[in-house]
Structure 1
Amino acid sequence: MTRQTILITGAAGGVGTLLRPRLAREDRTLRLLDIVPAVDPQPGEEVVTGSVTDLDTMVAACRGVDTIIHLGGQSREHTIDNVLELNVAGTYTTLEAARIAGVGTVMLASSNHAVGFSPREGIPEGGLPADTPARPDTLYGLSKVGIEAAGRLFADRYGLNVICVRIGSWFPTPPGVRGLATWLSPDDGARLVEACIAAEDPGYRLIWGISRNTRRWFSLAEGEAIGYDPQDDAESFADQLIEGAEPDFINDPELNRAGGTWCEVELGKPMM
């Protein structure tokens, strides 16, 4: 049996911590890279301490790797220098290291904030398509557009397989009423990553990272095309999240725009 090696960048973060036990397999090595060591490494896990902006570190981390799950970078709104360095330059470095090391596929963590100003009103019945043109809501969202463009460059120029996942809300439970539309459950997050790992020569893809939510805004078709079959639905949390009347998803600015309240945050101000 051939052993698989998966590199997870940003492995010590919230999403990386959710993924680790769900991706563990007897025939798989999880290589965990972050600027701080991942906590409590398990059998089959290798810890690498370093930054996604350091090419030498990344090339070494990519040796023998089959797939990269690139989560590393700035996960909130911040200054332009910060998001460009950690997200855009960090993604470029990761892709360049993947090219040098001969990695087969790279999954890039993009975000709904790349299209945050897209309105809920008027979207197709199946949901906002995954290739919806960029309408970033913040500098962070702008950096995610840059990440997607970097992936497109490496796919077109070098033939690298790149799957950009526009993540909704990847948390243990939906974060508020908006999460009823945007939630990605931990188990479905792992199912999505497994679909990216298993995809054969996917080329360049844009897919949404959401669960099979009854109130979803975003299309599942593009993810289903590579084998993603989400099982969870944020609707199971609706009773505890909705108080009183049903929310107005069309006229409430927080609920109508893909990026929610991020469309109103002060640009470049770190979010604590």
Structure 2
Amino acid sequence: MTPQRVLITGAAGIIGTFLRPRLARPGRTLRLLDLVPLDPAAPGEEIVTGSITDPATMAAACRDVDAVVHLAGISREDTWARILEFTIDATHTVLEDARAAGVPRVVLASSNHAVGFRDIGSAGPRGLPADSSPRPDTYYGVGKAAVEALGSLYHSRFGMDVTCLRIGSCFERPTDVRQLSLWLSPDDCARLIEACLATERADYRVLWGVSANTRGVLSPDEAATIGYHPLDDAEQHATAVPPADLPTRLGGHYCETPLGRAEPS
């Protein structure tokens, strides 16, 4: 059964903003949580202002929820202390309060940077498998690898359905050659989340969050098993992207970014 009340953490962020109108459904309530003030609640919405690092806030936010879509946290490279607090420790808080509230399903936003040092050229004809073991490129990537490990633990220990989405580049349109391979359109992002919410058998899974890109280097097979069928292709934007060589490593410039220094995604 498709969840009727869905908590979205980080609802004011880029992906949260994309998903807010796209996940709205008759009979569904979206509970939207962020530290940043959100627009007033529309019909079928509930607004929660607070931090994912606060157990009391998360306990209240998880009450009577059927699923959590956890997007909040540090969205780029940053200091180890901030990655630890707002990505690793905060995800533990989210999962623990979801468990305590009896939430059966959680979708965790991971990233391609959890495997950023993987060699694109060795991906194979079907692309790099979604469950490739971690090879993080930054503290940010380490944080996302830890998020995945926490999700695995909470599935194995408590039977929660946990999906970790290794998101490529989710923006309105790709802006460079690397993103032509890793782009996840806002509409496909919503399709992927809906597929995660509709899974029938509790499991732990790691999936790529990408569109049906002509230049794709990531395997679509794992996400297809839960019914995700992307419809968009970054190639429609290719003429607006400056020509360049595809990076050797999946993480692109993140593989050379000084550790702990904030950089754009």
> What TM-score, normalized to structure 1?
0.94
Is 2:113–2:251's contact at 8 Å kept on the other side of the alignment? yes
Supply the AA of the counterpart residue of 2:258.
E
Is 1:169–1:175's contact at 8 Å kept on the other side of the alignment? no
> Aligned residue for 2:115?
115
> Aligned residue for 2:6?
6
Cα separation, 1, equivalents of 2:75 and 2:183: 16
> Aligned residue for 1:261?
253
Is 1:9–1:70's contact at 8 Å kept on the other side of the alignment? yes
> Aligned residue for 2:133?
133
Call closer, same or farther: CA 1:3–1:178 in 2, change over 3 Å. closer
Is 2:111–2:166's contact at 8 Å kept on the other side of the alignment? yes
Indicate the structure whose relative CO is greater, using CA pairs within 8 Å and at least 6 residues apart: 2
CA shift, 1:135, in A, is: 0.6
CA shift, 1:43, in A, is: 1.1
CA shift, 1:242, in A, is: 4.2
Cα separation, 2, equivalents of 1:37 and 1:248: 40
Aligned residue runs from structure 1 range 119-198, under 5 A: 119-198=119-198
> Aligned residue for 1:237?
237
Is 1:3–1:29's contact at 8 Å kept on the other side of the alignment? no
SS at match of 2:254: helix
Q: Where does structure 2 lack aligned partners over 5 or more consecutive residues?
A: none
CA shift, 1:60, in A, is: 0.9
Q: Where does structure 1 lack aligned partners over 5 or more consecutive residues?
A: 250-254
> Aligned residue for 2:30?
30
Is 1:163–1:202's contact at 8 Å kept on the other side of the alignment? no
CA shift, 1:53, in A, is: 1.1
Is 2:11–2:32's contact at 8 Å kept on the other side of the alignment? yes
> What TM-score, normalized to structure 2?
0.96
Cα separation, 1, equivalents of 2:201 and 2:164: 14
Supply the AA of the counterpart residue of 1:263.
C
Cα separation, 2, equivalents of 1:177 and 1:231: 20
> Aligned residue for 1:270?
262
Supply the AA of the counterpart residue of 1:144.
K
Call closer, same or farther: CA 1:96–1:37 in 2, change over 3 Å. same
> Aligned residue for 2:93?
93
Is 1:115–1:137's contact at 8 Å kept on the other side of the alignment? yes
Q: What is the percent sequence identity of the aligned residues? A: 55
CA shift, 1:54, in A, is: 1.1
Supply the AA of the counterpart residue of 1:180.
L
Aligned length: 264
> Structure 1: which 4+ aligned runs deviate by more than 4 Å?
none
> Aligned residue for 1:252?
none
Cα separation, 2, equivalents of 1:173 and 1:3: 29
